[in-house]
Amino acid sequence: MPAFAEARVDLDVISANVAALRERAPNSHFMGVVKADGYGHGMIPAARAMLAGGATWLGVAFIEEALEVRRAGIDTPLLAWIVPPGAPIGAAIEAGVELGISDPWVLDATVAAARAAGRPARVHLKADTGLNRGGITREGWPEVVEAAARAEAAGVLQVTGVFSHLARADEPADPGARDSVQAQLDAFDEALALADKAGLRPEVRHIANSAALLTRPDSHFDLVRPGIAAYGLSPMPDLRDIGVRPAMTLAARVALVKRVPAGSGVSYGHRYVTDRETTLALVPLGYADGVPRAASNIGPAALGGRRHVIAGTVCMDQFVLDVGNDPVEAGDEVVLFGDGENGVPTAQDWAEALGTIPYEIVTRVGVRVPRTYRSGAVS
Ligand SMILES: Cc1ncc(COP(=O)(O)O)c(C=O)c1O
């Protein structure tokens, strides 16, 4: 392990997770979502591991991310779905990056960029079927599919996909959420029918994220688009066992230990006070590294196979564990989260302690923390 801390990523685990997830949607293409630096795991290694596991597409949020994938020499079909004003659309077209069209202005800008580039843009039209985030509204959809069909006929556009995104797929036990998913699937069918009527014949229709991949086979269409499950974490707090393993372990080395008497206030604000003579271990990871300050006095960590809770305030670069009389010395390994074996907490445990979701825990691991990779096949 590097001197102070590391995020260890097991790429074989990512590949195995993808292979296991593919079995749940055997007739659909598999778009591995690697945005946000591969959910904190490292975008390029994660992308390669997903491809090794059987992914046939890759998905990112931004064109800049997609261009980085291309620069790494990965030529798999690749979709970038957030195109803000000023985005490098021309560069995306040149690099063969497919673009999500979430608003009429994006279609216009993409057609203009394709004309300038002298080659057609490959696009996926995004229908807003009820998330009310990105995507073309039901009212705007007929006009957009007509315009896209005209641009296709003019040879400046290829509509390779039509897609949407679900709002409540991660609550499969909630009848209201199930109704919401059904309403979105119905609206998606309508959007697809209108696209078809306009003469569009997309290669891939897609709406399923990890949760829908796992719980709604009727949402799989031609392609599924999971992120979190490929990294081994469940999108559904009530359904932890989804047949995958967490790929990332966040670990640090104890920087120093000290013995203190009962009544010692610990860290900023003395928000933790020792109730007996005890040993404190200093762990060199802080909120700059993605350990939320909100984890003060609640975040779990394992040391020598035993679970502890952070003592006092998480600082920018460090926090403290009160380990009682457990033997500990500088250099010992502390695991904040990992695969859940041998007393090690998971990112899901962190999410539950903090009232958030595991996505936020893994994506926030800071740039100062070196990622190290283990893999038999990929590096
Ligand atoms: C459009 C889109 N598709 C798919 C995903 C993957 O979702 P998940 O990580 O829940 O599988 C995301 C992630 O937020 C997304 O924004």
Domain map of the chain by residue range?
11-230, 248-345
For every one of its 379 residues, what pLDDT tens digit does the chain have, with 9 covering 90 and above?
667 999 999 999 999 999 999 999 999 999 999 999 999 999 999 999 999 999 999 999 999 999 999 999 999 999 999 999 999 999 999 999 999 999 999 999 999 999 999 999 999 999 999 999 999 999 999 999 999 999 999 999 999 999 999 999 999 999 999 999 999 999 999 999 999 999 999 999 999 999 999 999 999 999 999 999 999 999 998 888 999 999 999 999 999 999 999 999 999 999 999 999 999 999 999 999 999 999 999 999 999 999 999 999 999 999 999 999 999 999 999 999 999 999 999 999 999 999 999 999 999 999 999 999 999 754 4
35 is an active site residue: yes
CA angle at residue 339 from 336 to 341, to 5 degrees? 95
Count CB atoms within 10 A of the CB of residue 72. Answer: 13
Of residues 231, 268, 272, 359, which has the active-site annotation? 268
Task: Give burial (CB, 10 Å; 0-12/13-18/19+) of 66.
Answer: buried
Which residues contact ligand 1 via a Cβ below 6 A?
Answer: 33, 81, 165, 209-210, 225-229, 235
3-class SS of residue 173:
coil
> What is the structure's pLDDT at 344?
97
Q: Which fold has domain 11-230?
A: TIM Barrel (3.20.20)
**Domain 248-345 belongs in CATH node 2.40.37.10:** yes
Cα of 209 from ligand 1 centre, angstroms: 5
Q: What string of DSSP letters covers 322-367? A: EEET----TT-EEEEESSS-TT---HHHHHHHHTS-HHHHHHT--T
3-class SS of residue 141:
helix
- Asked if residues 209 and 196 have their Cβ atoms less than 8 Å apart, the reply is no
Q: Which backbone phi and psi does 344 adopt, to 5 degrees?
A: -75, 130
On whether 50 is known to bind a ligand per the annotation, the reply is no
> What is the structure's pLDDT at 376?
76
Query: Ligand 1 pocket check: which of 101, 164, 209, 348 to mutate, most ligand atoms within 8 Å of Cβ?
Result: 209
Q: Which residues contact 182 (CB under 8 A, 6 or more apart)?
A: none
Helices (H), 154-236: 175-197, 210-215
197 is an active site residue: no
> What is the structure's pLDDT at 379?
44
* Closest atom, ligand 1, to C-alpha of 226: 11
> What is the structure's pLDDT at 3?
75
On whether 316 is known to bind a ligand per the annotation, the reply is yes
Structure tokens at 266: 């610990």
User: Which residue has the CA at smallest separation from atom 8 of ligand 1?
Assistant: 227
Structure tokens at 60: 């990112």
Q: How far is CA 316 from CA 39, 137, 261, in A?
A: 22, 43, 25
Cα of 102 from ligand 1 centre, angstroms: 15
Residue at 196: amino acid letter? D
Could you tell me the sign of the dihedral formed by the alpha carbons of 20, 346, 180, 57, in that order?
negative
Structure tokens at 46: 């994660």
- Find the farthest-apart pair of alpha carbons in the chain and give their distance in angstroms, rounded: 79
Q: How far apart are the C-alpha atoms of 101 and 196, rounded to whole Å?
A: 17
Beta strands in the chain (DSSP E): 5-10, 29-33, 57-62, 78-82, 98-101, 121-126, 157-163, 204-208, 223-224, 248-253, 256-260, 265-266, 272-273, 278-283, 300-303, 306-309, 319-324, 333-337, 371-374
